[in-house]
A and B are shown apart, each in its own frame.
Chain A
Amino acid sequence: EIVLTQSPGTLSLSPGERATLSCRASESVSSSYLAWYQQKPGQAPRLLIYGAFIRGTGIPDRFSGSGSGTDFTLTISRLEPEDIAVYYCQQYGSSPRTFGQGTKVEIK
């Protein structure tokens, strides 16, 4: 099973700052089958990014994804108050599909 390790555990930033979230895989993720999800308190996860860098429908362009192989990054270029959430990476290229443990983004 591919283990995904996210860092940092918590990110505290001011509005307008850049957020950089990391996701490292225990082995190469095939065909960049890597997605990012946003989960706000009390809500279901929402797809942000798939294929490592492709934004989902309606996702603002301040969200971007990059990386390949075992190292992936989600960047929020200018943090907005509504971006407060937990962010999860997921690999969907092998079974079982696995998720990282999440990075919590807080407003300072």
Chain B
Amino acid sequence: QVQLVQSGAEVKKPGASVKISCKASGYTFTTYYMNWVRQAPGQGLEWMGIINPSSGTTSYAQKFQGRVTMTRDTSTSTVYLDVSSLRSDDTAVYYCARSGDYYNWFDPWGQGTLVTVSS
């Protein structure tokens, strides 16, 4: 079955960077796009961007341009989200979510990775 398994929780200080992984299994990794979505505590869902695992091409939401980098490793079927210059309002659960095309619904989602930014 299709599965997205994310790396574990992280605690970071303001100004630091964090790199989260999302390992895909159960399908051909390069034939589906991957999105990243975050959810601050008690808040709604916010789309951060998308990566094409085949080409490595990315598109980021304007809010995150310059501070977020999405990459992939086709040898391990893993995508990565790197967030730099962390602030306290980056504290959130970060989800990866597969989509069948550039403009497509998200299914399935990873289990989420909690990133806590605190001094």
Contact = CB atoms under 8 A, between A and B. Distances in A.
Interface of A: 33, 35, 37, 44-47, 50-51, 56, 88, 90, 92-102
B47 A97 contact: yes
B61 interface: yes
Interface in B97-119: 97, 99, 103-112
14 contacts: A33-B103, A35-B105, A37-B45, A44-B111, A44-B112, A45-B45, A45-B95, A45-B97, A92-B99, A94-B103, A96-B47, A96-B63, A102-B44, A102-B45
A35 B103 CA distance: 12
Interface in B41-88: 44-47, 59, 61-63
Contacts, number: 57
B65 to A, nearest CB: 11
Given A44-B95, A92-B103, 14 more contacts: A33-B103, A44-B110, A47-B106, A47-B108, A56-B107, A88-B44, A90-B106, A92-B105, A94-B103, A96-B47, A96-B61, A96-B62, A96-B63, A100-B44
Give the interface size class of chain B: 20 to 34
Contacts of B44: 88, 99-102
Contacts of A47: 105-108
Contacts of B108: 44, 46-47
B76 to A, nearest CB: 22
A56 B112 CA distance: 21
A97 B105 CA distance: 10
Contacts of A98: 47
